[in-house]
A and B are shown apart, each in its own frame.
Chain A
Amino acid sequence: MRDIAVVSAAQHQQKALTHTTEVELMVPLINEARGAVGLTQDDIGFTCSGSSDFLAGQAFSFVHTLDAVGAVPPISESHVEMDGAWALYEAWVKLQIGGVDTALVYSYGKSSPGSLRDVLSTQLDPYYLGPLWPDAFALAALQARIMLESGAVSEQRLAEIAVRSLNGAADNPRAVRSSAEATIDSILAEAPIADPLRPSDCAASADGGVAVVLAAGDRARELCERPAWIKGIDHRIDPHQPGVRDLTRAPSAQVAAAQAGAGDDRLDAAELAAPFTTQEHILELELGLGADTAVNANGGALAGHTMMAAGLMRIADAAAHIHDERADRVLGHAASGLYLQQNLVCVMEGE
């Protein structure tokens, strides 16, 4: 296996990018990520992006966003209709195959023009679930009640996770929901938005984008003072129908973490892309995160969830801990689908 590292990243997130197109959003981010390591598009061996036509409301919408990259002269390029973390996985595979030493990965999402909790119904199977248009909060509430009734989690614990996010996000300029004053009591006093879930249990929806540069071997050492070396990366999937799953668990997250070697050594920090407090609780257990791992130190996805980019943002956040010498071994996580159906785990280390 080749040594491959995240060498730079740039991201932006806000509540609504009302008057900004996806191209206008991505031009400065892609320039910043490439520029931070002194590269232009001519130096990039492979480019891969993640986005969703269901948010853009247009087929092949990602083609427009290639204008932000500079696709002339022709580049080697690919796209996934998934969170950018899976675009990073494709780029990692491309670098493993060889022939290229650098890759640009980016993703973005603008869900503010529509109602994301309803648009997400389009990811459900088209016969049993989709035609009922159950919204994302209501479906998460079904899971939450099973977890609470079975004792898999307590309301107190969910409120603790909400407070951790709100407090952690207080100094994070990219967070769209934060509060230095939030307490467990203030969370428990919130009226349910989808009984038994409270507003603070549901991630705050955001618009944004993220760009990441990967490099292999000595190229990474040339470009970056302290590369975030990808020591393990894996993604797994569980069945789609909620009835056939134990909704208090996410087995695919556990397998992905084991395959990525998450538990092989101490993790200093973990950045999780959980869209609900219930699911953040499940992930901490499935990923085996202990008290010595700082989880979502700056608020995580609960403080601002950009559809299609939340996972790649978490990998960028995790890599930043290594770049800034705040940590030696970190985990970035991405999720996709209903009830954490699909999970990706990326373990990175500094030298």
Chain B
Amino acid sequence: MPERLRADLVLEYPFTRTTGPVIGGFLTGLREGMILGIRRSDGTVLCPPTEYDPESSEPLTDLVEVGPGGEVVSWTWVDPPRSQSPWDQPHGLGLIQLDGADTPIVHGLLVEGPSELSVGMRVTARWRPEREGHIADLEGFVPEGAVR
């Protein structure tokens, strides 16, 4: 009787992927509790940073620290929270222009209700204690001066 051939089948996704020096730099910064933007040739700073200038397409390399304070450029209220999001309570979603940056970043606004939100209000970053290099290492932004 011929020998029966046998091979195990393991379903897997055997790839790893690097996020590169810019996005990877930003994510590593988050792990360290630091928010990074990137400087364009005209001196303005993009946050979150992109690998290429969105207008001129030139490569960007000069990461600079921004925040952790900033100003709310726009906001809305999310209730109920979306099931796959990092937030399990009703929360604000905002465009937040961090100090030292010239473009706003999208993130959560952690307040009790929409009446506490306004355009131009000052906020500051709130960090998760355990961080892994992920956008949700930032728990969100809270009004400046709020008890942390």
Q: Which residue of B lies closest to A129 (CB)?
A: B106
Interface residues of B in 77-131 (CB under 8 A from A): 77-78, 82-86, 93-95, 103-108, 114, 119
Give the residue name and chain of the A residue nearest to B23 (CB): A127
Contacts of B84 in A (CB 8 A): 118, 121, 133
Complex Cα distance, B103 from A239, in Å, reads 13
B95 close to A138 (CB less than 8 A):
no
Determine the distance from Cα of A239 to Cα of B57 in the docked complex, in whole angstroms: 11
A195 to B119, CA, bound (A): 13
**Once the chains are docked, how many angstroms separate the CA of A143 from the CA of B104?**
12
Once the chains bind, are B95 and A128 in contact (CB under 8 Å)? Answer: no
- Tally of contact residues, A, Cβ under 8 A: 27
Q: Contacts A131-B135, A133-B84, A134-B106 given: A243-B93 contact, CB under 8 Å?
A: no
B142 in the interface (beta carbon within 8 A): no
Chain A residues whose CB sits within 8 angstroms of the CB of B27 once the complex forms = 127
Given A128-B48, A134-B106: A141 and B76 within 8 A (CB)? Answer: yes
Give B residues with C-beta under 8 Å from A: 19, 23, 26-27, 46-48, 50, 54, 73-78, 82-86, 93-95, 103-108, 114, 119, 134-136
Contact A127 B76 (CB under 8 A): no
The proximity string for A residues 191-217 relative to B, scoring 1 for CB distances below 8 Å and 0 otherwise, is 000111100000000000000000000
A142 x B82 contact (CB < 8 A): no
Most interface-central of A139, A195, A196 (chain B CB within 10 A): A195
Closest A residue to B54 by beta carbon equals: A239
A194 adjacent to B135 (CB under 8 Å) = no
A141-169 interface (Cβ within 8 A of B): 141-143, 145-146, 149
Residue from A118, A132, A196, A197 in contact with B106 in the complex, judged by beta carbons closer than 8 Å:
A132
* B134 and A131 contact, CB distance less than 8 A: yes
Known: A129-B106, A243-B46. A138 touches B78 (CB 8 A): yes
B130 to chain A, nearest CB (A): 16
Question: A197 contacts which chain B residues (CB < 8 A)?
Answer: 76
Contact residue among A135, A145, A149 (Cβ-Cβ distance under 8 Å from B82): A135
Q: CB < 8 Å: which of A132, A141, A142 contacts B86?
A: A132
Contact A142 to B50, CB < 8 A, known contacts A128-B135, A133-B85, A243-B104: no
Complex contacts, A128 vs chain B, CB 8 Å: 23, 48, 105-106, 135
Contact of B93 among A142, A241, A244 (CB under 8 A): A142
> Which chain B residues lie closer than 8 Å to A133 at the CB level?
82, 84-86
Contact B78 A244 (CB under 8 A): no
Q: Nearest residue in B to A131 (C-beta to C-beta)?
A: B135
Tell me, in angstroms, the Cα distance from A243 to B40 when the chains sit together. Answer: 14
Chain B residues contacting A232 (CB-CB under 8 Å) are none
**Are A242 and B95 in touch, CB under 8 angstroms?**
yes
Q: Select from chain A the residue with minimum beta-carbon distance to B84.
A: A133
Most buried by B among A197, A241, A242: A241
Known contacts A132-B135, A142-B75; A243/B82 CB under 8 A: no
Q: In the assembly, what is the distance between CA of A118 and CA of B46, in Å?
A: 27
- CB pair B107 A132 closer than 8 Å: yes
A194 to B90, CA, bound (A): 12
Sorted from nearest, which 10 A-B pairs have the closest CB atoms?
A: A141-B76, A243-B103, A239-B54, A133-B85, A133-B84, A142-B74, A145-B74, A244-B54, A128-B48, A243-B104
Q: A131-B136, A134-B106, A243-B103 are in contact. List 8 more A-B contacts (CB 8 A).
A: A118-B82, A118-B84, A128-B23, A128-B106, A142-B75, A241-B50, A241-B103, A243-B47
